[in-house]
A = this chain, B = another copy of it.
Amino acid sequence: MPRPRTRLLDRERIVAAALAELEVNGQLTMSAVSRRLSVHVSSLYEHVRDRAELVDLIREVVTSGLDEDLSEVPAGAGWREPLEQWLVSYRAAFARHPRAIGLLTTEPIRSHRAARGYDRVLGLLARAGVSPQEAMATLTALECFVLGSALDAAAPDAMVEVDDDDARGPLGEALRAEPSPERRADHAFTTGLRLLLDGLAASAPASSSS
């Protein structure tokens, strides 16, 4: 029975099914999405140009609501707190859909929404004393850390696995001093974030951070 009178598909439902599929199986195939929706594969192409466009839609859902936090930064406020907040919510957005990260980080970001977000972050960096020549490099470095951390959060356990032999060395010791696997990635992110912001503060004009 082609074309039932009650609409079976729309982009929203397809994206939701795609995210569910990523969460459960860790990979995105059009066939799996269609099975999840009890629909033939080819029906998806009525709503979505191709797999790449579906990935674009997923990216938008994952990163939506990322910059609203930034829009309300008071002009007189310091740079460290709002910058930290942005980085935290940036990573959290990706960490909410960990197995989608690999899919989303291969293509450059193109949305106007994102561009305005970057505008504001660059303002914060200027307040921290970052020169215009280093602004983009600093912003990119922060993003590299955030995305690397999001990827790390997607990994089930640590980036390293040791056997009994290796466990006797300093690495084994350090691994045993780690908190529970659930907090492992969070701990690493918090630590790196502090290092980066401390590094920024070290070369910032005095008393500009509070």
Contacts and interface: CB of A to CB of B under 8 A. Distances in A.
Number of identical monomers bound together in the oligomeric complex? 2
A26 B205 CA distance: 44
A196 B192 contact: yes
Contact of A198 (B105, B147, B202): B202
Given A143-B159, A198-B202, 5 more contacts: A115-B160, A119-B170, A132-B177, A136-B178, A199-B199
Contacts of A184: 136-137, 140
A63 interface: no
A179 to B, nearest CB: 9
A191 interface: yes
A108 interface: yes
Interface residues of A, number: 72
B199 A159 contact: no
Given A136-B178, A142-B192, A196-B192, A114 B160 contact: yes
6 smallest beta-carbon distances between A and B, as pairs: A141-B192, A148-B148, A195-B199, A144-B148, A140-B188, A198-B199
Interface in A96-149: 102, 105-106, 108-110, 112, 114-116, 118-119, 122-123, 126, 132-149
Contacts of A122: 170-171, 174
A194 interface: yes
A175 B108 contact: no
Given A115-B160, A161-B109, A136 B169 contact: no
A177 B185 CA distance: 34
23 contacts: A106-B155, A108-B158, A109-B161, A110-B160, A110-B161, A115-B171, A122-B174, A132-B173, A136-B158, A136-B174, A136-B175, A138-B195, A140-B158, A140-B188, A141-B188, A141-B191, A144-B151, A144-B188, A146-B148, A148-B149, A194-B199, A197-B199, A202-B202
A81 to B, nearest CB: 17
A72 interface: no
B157 A108 contact: yes
